[in-house]
């Protein structure tokens, strides 16, 4: 929600602080800068100190600095607050997917993790509604919009009592007794709910409990070792392609629509419909992740994104812009859902959060560069050139994932780990 909301704040801040497209692009990149740092650090911290505490601290940091941004008196203070809030967002987002993947069985892992990403879409729709109805409410509307986005602070009270640490993480740390208590707690709840005793599962693959490494440089060396660097290259590329295209489109779409001759109120209405198209995009990809290989799911949605980006680049009538933009939104977010499901599967437990964080952080290079590049490119190449560039980036991602991507569907995390790491 927060990332999407920035796009709706830009026109108001441009008016209040007298900013052009170049400075607005820099402002739009503030959150991704913090996100990059947060994603990179939280991955390593999550592998060292646990998934749960990092999730809680990240949410607290995000909330505090979002409120500071809401009362920022100057462009500079706003940008600094957004960078630190972005740190919290980045840390939160890279911990959740590895955390969930370590609980879910292979048969449903793709569905659950992709659906996790799917809930981002509801945040984007809410951001569009806030942008449409709250931001225009006077000169301070954009400030109240940020206050609303700080509401998730209430989750901390629930998380502290309800969330359990990942048993796979506990095993890696040699805390077998704690891991068994966590698993037994879940088993007891299932028995109580169903009234049936559980069968003893058959071990799948060799777990990595003997590994106990938490040095950041050691983790990075491992990711680029001969054993696993193919996975690293593929997943970093996919993240960059997804994030560059995603931010390039969603950060600038309200402003570009206005420049296309659509008034700001109508552009926000268009944006609500375009953001709503994310919902079926995410959840259709989650469904497809369990029907075919994850890498092919990602490729299908990237191809759809490239086609719709080209369609959008050739559109001039408001109705065609709306239709092509909604289709592009559908496919871009379907690819993101597949990527969230795919990433944590590729790496062993001791480095899973670090690997996810590093991939997400590299993707943020795309989110930092996309608003700036598109801000200046829109001046030089116009509306069509912006989305022609997006099309080319998406096609690059298709080629990489289809040729070099690893198959993971239906396998336990330990089996995937053994496929190339021996």
Domain-embedded: residue 176: yes
Reply yes or no on whether the pLDDT at 227 is more than 70. Answer: yes
**Per-residue model confidence (pLDDT) at position 364:** 79
Region 168-180: mean pLDDT is: 86
Distance in Å from the first CA to the final CA of the chain = 41
CATH number, position 369: 1.20.1250.20
Quote the domain boundaries for residue 32.
2-197+207-420
The pLDDT confidence band at residue 281, using thresholds 50, 70 and 90, is: very high
Share of the chain above pLDDT 70, in %: 87
Domain-embedded: residue 116: yes
User: Domain tally for the chain?
Assistant: 1
Contacts of 102 (CB under 8 A, 6+ apart): 51, 166, 167, 168, 169, 344, 349, 352, 413
pTM of the model: 0.78
Evaluated on CA atoms 403, 362, 413, 422, the torsion sign reads: positive
Domain-embedded: residue 202: no
Q: How far is CA 301 from CA 22, 272, 341, 345, 407, in A?
A: 31, 21, 14, 19, 17
The pLDDT confidence band at residue 203, using thresholds 50, 70 and 90, is: low
Reply yes or no on whether the pLDDT at 366 is more than 90. Answer: no
- Cα Rg of the chain (Å, integer): 21
The pLDDT confidence band at residue 245, using thresholds 50, 70 and 90, is: confident
Reply yes or no on whether the pLDDT at 253 is more than 80. Answer: no
Per the CB < 8 A criterion, the answer to whether 350 and 34 are in contact is no
In this predicted structure, which of 8-17, 254-263, 291-300 has the lowest mean pLDDT? 254-263
Domain-embedded: residue 403: yes
pLDDT tens track for 79-136: 899 999 999 988 988 888 888 888 887 778 888 888 888 887 888 788 878 887 888 8
Domain-embedded: residue 235: yes
């Amino acid at each position: 929600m927060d990332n999407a909301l920035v796009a709706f704040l830009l026109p108001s801040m441009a008016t209040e602080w007298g900013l052009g497209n170049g400075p607005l692009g820099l402002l739009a990149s503030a959150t991704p800068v913090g996100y990059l740092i947060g994603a990179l650090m939280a991955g390593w911290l999550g592998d060292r100190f646990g998934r749960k505490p990092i999730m809680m601290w990240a949410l607290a940091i995000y909330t505090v600095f979002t409120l500071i941004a809401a009362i920022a008196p100057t462009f500079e203070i706003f940008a600094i607050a957004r960078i630190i809030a972005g740190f919290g967002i980045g840390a939160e987002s890279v911990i959740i997917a590895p955390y969930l993947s370590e609980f879910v069985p292979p048969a449903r892992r793709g569905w659950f993790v992709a659906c996790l990403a799917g809930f981002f879409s509801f945040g984007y729709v809410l951001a569009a509604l806030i942008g449409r109805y709250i931001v225009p409410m006077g000169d301070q509307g954009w400030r109240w919009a940020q206050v609303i986005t700080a509401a998730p602070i209430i989750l901390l009270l629930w998380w502290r009592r309800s969330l359990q640490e990942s048993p796979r993480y506990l095993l890696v740390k040699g805390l077998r007794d704690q891991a068994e208590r966590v698993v037994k707690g879940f088993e007891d709840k299932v028995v109580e709910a169903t009234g049936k005793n559980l069968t003893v599962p058959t071990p799948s693959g060799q777990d990595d409990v003997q590994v106990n490494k938490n040095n950041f440089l050691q983790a990075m060396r491992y990711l680029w070792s001969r054993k696993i660097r193919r996975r690293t290259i593929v997943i970093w590329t996919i993240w960059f392609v997804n994030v560059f295209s995603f931010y390039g489109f969603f950060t600038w779409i309200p402003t570009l629509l206005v420049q296309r001759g659509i008034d700001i109120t109508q552009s926000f209405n268009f944006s609500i419909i375009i953001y709503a198209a994310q919902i079926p995009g995410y959840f259709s990809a989650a469904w497809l992740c369990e029907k075919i290989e994850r890498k092919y799911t990602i490729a299908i949605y990237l191809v759809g994104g490239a086609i719709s980006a080209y369609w959008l680049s050739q559109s001039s009538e408001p109705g065609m812009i709306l239709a092509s933009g909604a289709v592009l939104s559908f496919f871009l977010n379907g690819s993101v859902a597949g990527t969230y499901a795919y990433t944590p599967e590729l790496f062993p437990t001791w480095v899973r959060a670090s690997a996810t964080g590093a991939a997400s952080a590299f993707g943020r290079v795309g989110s930092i560069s996309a608003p700036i590049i598109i801000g200046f490119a829109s001046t030089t190449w116009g509306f069509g050139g912006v989305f022609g560039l997006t099309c080319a980036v998406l096609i690059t991602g298709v080629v990489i994932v289809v040729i070099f991507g690893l198959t993971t569907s239906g396998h336990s995390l330990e089996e995937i780990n053994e496929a190339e790491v021996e």
